[in-house]
Chain A
């Protein structure tokens, strides 16, 4: 008597093992076959010792070990690893393009907003914190530049004031990377579902870092604007705002349906 008991513990155990071995190829199929033979033999031995069928099966399973402890010893085949790396590669491609576009784009946006921001600062005397911004001693005499130009040129265009001249090229580089992705996915296998990152993974991979960066940058931007406006406040506000937009868009992407092949 070695037949399984239908919906008994061994059958349920093998069902769980089957699910957990998905993607392991021939190594998984072989282990499943051997596990079935082993458990049925062990259960038959238990019944021969006088145990009832269910108890014999539970004892056989207890001796065999949990599904997790057994399955983790099965190596994933190389093709499974390659399959996992494909969406990782394309996801990295997209993420790099997006990060570059965000960083360079925030610099471009800050440069554009620099005009009204500087005029507002001068009109309100640094939001009321610095009387007579265009008078001495705040602005040294310079016949080549007026007060507005000197303040605007002094603004940081990206957070921390770095990358003052190259940010447009960073933005262009990011945009080109994303455009290249759009072209490639239309014309090659990279557009297939096998190469497309799962919406949940990709969405969370962007939503979490951008979602965390947004309030931090915005906080620094706001704290830099009051009571005396600092030259780095606008760049932090802009970068934080763009990060929030990307974070929200990525969070919405989490709920998107995966593409079918």
Chain B
């Protein structure tokens, strides 16, 4: 499924729940929590994380403790606020779409 336009919210949500975590774990969590629905090209997640960092929603640091040097990402306070706002926006969007397509359409496609 194409997550274009929603990747920021998904990454913020994963980081909010997982805490400080490196990119590989973010991608694994994204795949596992969506049960394979969001199978994005993994390489595109890193530029997205960098973009969130430039926006001040995420901070990162190199972690040397592991066998291989890895970048660890963490939400900032602004990132948490952004996650809450985007989540509310998404829920309103889903409610609106659901109201338009209606339960009949949902049943028809089920």
Contacts and interface: CB of A to CB of B under 8 A. Distances in A.
A40 B43 CA distance: 13
A63 B31 CA distance: 11
Nearest to B31: A63
Contact of B24 (A33, A42, A73): A42
Contacts of A40: 68
A63 B71 CA distance: 19
Contacts of B70: 34, 37
Contacts, number: 58
Q: Chain B interface: which size bin?
A: 10 to 19
Given A38-B42, A64-B41, A73 B68 contact: no
Nearest to A63: B42
Interface in B36-90: 41-44, 46-48, 50-51, 67-71
A63 B36 CA distance: 12
Interface of B: 22-24, 27, 41-44, 46-48, 50-51, 67-71
26 contacts: A27-B50, A30-B71, A31-B47, A33-B71, A34-B23, A34-B70, A34-B71, A37-B22, A37-B23, A37-B24, A37-B70, A38-B43, A41-B24, A42-B24, A63-B41, A63-B42, A64-B42, A65-B43, A65-B44, A66-B41, A70-B41, A70-B43, A73-B44, A73-B48, A73-B51, A74-B50
